[in-house]
């Protein structure tokens, strides 16, 4: 599953608080509200930016998605899929 996040203040919408917004690029058959979500940040895409229009923001998000699709199946990023961080034993505090 590929995810990219925006860790910023989202100046286009005039937000003042910094947030982390994961964009999960996967179709789920059911929701996962109330479930634990684990993410590993493996690379940096671009700095925070403001946009002149909603269309420019949408284009930047699509460019981020395209970049993520290309890079996440490459080394060293793809190795993270098998990390013990995602195992059930690490969630229960066991090693």
End-to-end CA distance of the chain: 24
Q: For the chain, how long is the longest CA-to-CA vector?
A: 49
Q: Which of 21, 29, 36, 79 is catalytic?
A: 21
Q: Would you state the pLDDT for residue 52?
A: 92
- What is the number of other CB atoms lying within 10 angstroms of the CB of residue 68? 20
Is residue 79 annotated as a catalytic residue, yes or no?
A: no
Digit-coded pLDDT (tens) for 58-76? 999 899 888 888 888 777 7
- pTM value is 0.61
């Amino acid at each position: 599953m590929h995810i990219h996040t925006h860790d910023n203040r989202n100046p286009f919408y005039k937000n003042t608080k910094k947030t982390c917004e994961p964009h999960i690029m996967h179709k789920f058959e059911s929701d996962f509200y109330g479930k634990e979500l684990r993410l590993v940040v493996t690379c940096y895409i671009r700095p925070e930016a403001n946009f002149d229009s909603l269309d420019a923001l949408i284009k930047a998000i699509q460019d981020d998605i395209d970049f993520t699709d290309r890079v996440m199946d490459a080394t060293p990023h793809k190795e993270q899929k098998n990390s013990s961080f995602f195992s059930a034993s690490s969630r229960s505090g066991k090693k």
